Amino acid sequence: MGRWRIRLAAAVSLVLIGLVWLIQSPPAALRQAQERGFDILIQWVALRKQDGPDLTFPAAPQVFVIDLGARDETGQDWDRSDTARLVDTLARAGPAVVAFDMVFSGNCNDSAGNVALAVALARTPSVLGFLLSEFALPAPTPHPPLALAGTAAEHLWQVPGAEVACADLGAAAQGTGSVALFSDRDGQVRRIAAATLIGGAAYPALAIEAVRIALDDRSPILGAGLDGSREAWLRLGGRQIWLDPDADIRIVPSGPEVWPSRTLQANDVLDPKAALAALTGAVVLIGSSLPERGGLRTTAASAVHPSVQIQADLASALLGGAVPYRQADAPRWEALAAVTGGLLALGLILSLPTLPAIAGTACVAVLWGGVVTVLYRGSGLLLDPFGPLLVLGIIAFLTLVGQAALTGRAERLLRRKMGQLLPSSVVARLIENPALFRLTGEQRVVTALFTDIESFSVTTRQLGPRDLVRVLDAYFTLTCDIVLRHGGMVDKMVGDSVHAYFNAPLDQPGHVDAAIACAGEIIAATEAFRYSPALANVQLGRTRIGIETGPVVLGDVGSGAKIDYTAHGDAVNLAARLQEANKLLGTAICIGPAAAAASAMTLRPVGDHEIRSFGTLSLFTTA
């Protein structure tokens, strides 16, 4: 057993090493599963806003969304004259910044709408959105004062150009930011690129630029790879915000239940009676939730998440100091957790009984879940909540399977040795309770079922020894499986016959009907077997079955060199005689009077007949 345990531990350790390697360099499918784990963590655990020096902005601005629906009840779109009136109205409320989750490109002429919008944008701090382009188009203006430090530029996506607002509008705005949102393989938006390189210059995301202007930060820095660290970070408003290693910033997506509290409809804002005092000093993001505007995305919180609400989520997280992030070394910590948890599970399962070992392994899993939750809740650090647990579960499962295999091997050896002396059902009882090494006689009512193959001597003359054994093996496998499935005990196989008992060695309610049902299934199965392609050239006779019930004596018979667990009584002998009676009656199943009386099934009488040693009896067969 010791050698087997060592081998088991070594095999499980090898599997563990392979799984740890997958965690450190996971394929796409595992990365996606990992991201779904982060989704659950982010959605269900509230990230505590950081406090202390340089962590929280005093009196941080509120974030509001202005939703551009239809201009009026006719469903007409907003034009630039309408937007100019909206911006003029907002300017009078005095927001810290107004950012547009849209691109004012095209129709760049001297129309009254363009002129009015340019004048309105100049009256309030404003940020215009732009889209990334694969073509070498003009760079966005104005260029934000975002500096790069260390190896930050190596982490940013570089594009040839961008689709930008009209030049007059860009000149009137105070900042510009990317409104491009990229989804993962499953279509969900989880991160936003903190900045993008266009023409060698770094341009931030819209929400980041809006927060920069709201905080009047004139020297934001995006850094990575400083002092040998692999981490990426954003210095904004005097506070360092950790980013994912590829300089992406994660969002904490809000659900539709949050949006109404921070959203105003543009038509309501233009109402002369509208109360807009709440917008004073606020970060205001303007966009649309209309599907036809193409601004709906999928996040963990909603399948139809307006992009302007995603930008609002990011702005709120930046201002509140609650941004989730992944460290570059996170996979190493997760691998260490997987190794430690796997070894603990291995030790527990190999040294404790099954239930305490499973309970201990569950405690290890709960401990990891607690560590992940506390770290995220307190700092925003994301560790994989399920990857190490998956490794732990696989190791526990493989170890338990290995333990079961060792136990099963010992049991098989015991069965093989004792199976030469005892029926399998008796061996099972001895394995469960070794104290029953010799089964004393007991009297109980059993239903005996005896089978025989008609004219089997003809078949034996047709077949050679090897083919005969092959046919009998297949026949006995078929019939014995049916007996066991109906709750019977296969006592022995003699020649071409099967001797089986029901209600032995343990109680079996309804054993008479179980035996009759078993007989019916055996007849149907053996008839199909006779005519199967495998026996095309073999004249195998039909199966005949005799059934009777009554009190018998069960127990061991024999000397210490050879014992046989069997039954003795009239019901057993009569079942053998009834099997033979099928030959004269022309039936396949012959049922004795006691079994017929005890059965709840509908049976067909076949008359009174003389049975050797038992006299005249009323016999029955299945209907």
pLDDT digits (tens, 9 = 90+) for 239-259: 889 999 889 999 999 999 999
Question: Averaged over 494-503, what is the pLDDT?
Answer: 91
Give the three-class secondary structure for 5: helix
pLDDT category at 55 given cuts 50, 70, 90 is very low
Alpha-carbon dihedral angle through residues 52, 55, 56, 58, given to the nearest 10 degrees: 80
Strand partners, 567: 554
Beta carbons within 10 angstroms of residue 296's beta carbon? 17
Q: Both tokens of residue 37? A: 């784990």
Q: Is the pLDDT of residue 22 over 60?
A: no
Which residue in 174, 184, 104 sits closest to 142, CA to CA? 174
Q: Is the pLDDT of residue 561 over 50?
A: no
Do the beta carbons of residue 543 and residue 453 sit within 8 Å? yes
- Quick one: pLDDT at residue 75? 62
Q: Crossing angle of helices 2-24/387-418, nearest 10°?
A: 160
pLDDT category at 421 given cuts 50, 70, 90 is very low
- Quick one: pLDDT at residue 353? 81
Q: What average pLDDT does the structure give for the chain?
A: 84
- Quick one: pLDDT at residue 465? 85
Which residue in 318, 115, 113, 132 sits closest to 213, CA to CA? 318
Give the three-class secondary structure for 363: helix
Q: Are strands 442-453 and 497-502 parallel, antiparallel or unpaired?
A: antiparallel
Q: Is the pLDDT of residue 26 over 90?
A: no
Do the beta carbons of residue 23 and residue 335 sit within 8 Å? yes
Which amino acid, residue 569? G
- Quick one: pLDDT at residue 428? 67
Q: Is the pLDDT of residue 404 over 80?
A: no
Which residue in 325, 346, 471 sits closest to 402, CA to CA? 346
Do the beta carbons of residue 568 and residue 556 sit within 8 Å? no
pLDDT category at 59 given cuts 50, 70, 90 is low
Residue 444, burial from CB neighbour count under 10 angstroms (0-12, 13-18, 19+): middle
- Quick one: pLDDT at residue 12? 64
Which long-range contacts link 363-370 to residues 24+ away (Cβ below 8 Å)? 364/392, 365/341, 365/389, 365/392, 365/393, 368/337, 368/341, 368/392
> CA–CA separation, 291 vs 187, rounded Å?
17
Least confident of 41-45, 91-95, 133-137, 191-195: 133-137
Q: Both tokens of residue 277? A: 């005092």
Q: Which of 36-45, 444-453, 469-478 has the highest mean pLDDT?
A: 444-453
- Quick one: pLDDT at residue 226? 81
Residue 46, burial from CB neighbour count under 10 angstroms (0-12, 13-18, 19+): exposed
Enumerate the H helices of 307-353 as residue ranges.
Answer: 307-320, 330-351
| Higher-confidence position of 484 and 19 | 484
Cα-based angle 310, 314, 317 (whole degrees, multiple of 5) = 135
Strand partners, 131: 163
Q: Is the pLDDT of residue 318 over 70?
A: yes
Compute CA distances 215 → 94, 122, 210, 218, 319, whole Å. Answer: 14, 18, 9, 9, 9
- Quick one: pLDDT at residue 352? 81
Q: Is the pLDDT of residue 120 over 60?
A: yes
- Quick one: pLDDT at residue 3? 45
| Higher-confidence position of 406 and 61 | 61
pLDDT category at 464 given cuts 50, 70, 90 is confident
Least confident of 383-392, 499-508, 601-610: 383-392
**Where does residue 75 fall: left (phi above 0), alpha (psi -120 to 50 degrees), or beta otherwise?**
left
Q: Is the pLDDT of residue 438 over 50?
A: no
pLDDT category at 83 given cuts 50, 70, 90 is very high
- Percent of the chain whose pLDDT exceeds 70: 85
- Quick one: pLDDT at residue 558? 57
Question: Averaged over 156-179, what is the pLDDT?
Answer: 91
pLDDT category at 70 given cuts 50, 70, 90 is low
pLDDT category at 27 given cuts 50, 70, 90 is low
Which amino acid, residue 63? V
Least confident of 159-163, 167-171, 351-355, 455-459: 351-355
Question: Averaged over 418-422, what is the pLDDT?
Answer: 42
Strand partners, 174: none
Q: Are strands 489-494 and 497-502 parallel, antiparallel or unpaired?
A: antiparallel
pLDDT category at 56 given cuts 50, 70, 90 is very low
